[in-house]
Structure 1
Amino acid sequence: MSDEANRTAFMEIKGRMIETTGKLKQVHNQMRNKEGENKCAYLTLEELRQLPDDTNTYKSIGRTFVLEPKSILMNEQEQKFKDSETAIAALQHTSNEYLEKQKAEVENNLTELLPQDPGLAQQIMSVTVM
């Protein structure tokens, strides 16, 4: 391969690596948010379970609190808990795994490209060291 073709291939691989890494970070942030929602719903459920059935419970709607039966609040929290677990599983099994495979593929492409052009590897190292 010519020197210019190797540089072009490297720039393409570099762009794909940046894109894949960004998407992977976004998926991790979404998973972290859903885990927080999951924990909040779980803790709320645990507190509601400790209350007697005839206790007045209130639901927060913005800055307002509305009187709601305990059973309705528990059902809502259970649904939030289930929804967040489903979302976490979907993010883990589809997006995260796919992006991890993409990242590994890009890294393989890079490791295959560098031995073909030692000059390119030296240029990359000199740019990253500075």
Structure 2
Amino acid sequence: MASDAPAYVLENLSLVGPAKAVGYLPLRTVAEVLGLNVEDLITQAMARGLRAISIGPHHCCIKSGALYVFDAAALEAVLRVGSATLDQVEAPTDPEMFVRFIARDWFAPDHPIMPIIRAAFADHLRST
């Protein structure tokens, strides 16, 4: 990711890979806080073998929209483990469609899909 931006802000994207399937940053953070171009971050993610999608505010629960970066193979593995729950809540099992699904709405902490979301984002990897 961009070397001149604060590492702790970009960590949500830079840690994406086999151990952290998904990361995101609000589009406003990318542009206004980091002063970066979303397309450049998408290109950097793709160069690392990752997928990246920019989801605008009309299709995202984040007010400004968000940039999502994901490791398709790692996310597919997480989704495979949670397939029964995904079926139960009628969530997609395709990695990109899943990212779009979770981007659209906030889920209550006790929603059945939350363990899958937490596993995908590997919240346990966050530095404090």
Q: TM-score, normalised by structure 2?
A: 0.22
The higher radius of gyration belongs to 1
Q: TM-score, normalised by structure 1?
A: 0.22
Q: Which has the higher contact order (CA 8 A, sep 6+)?
A: 1
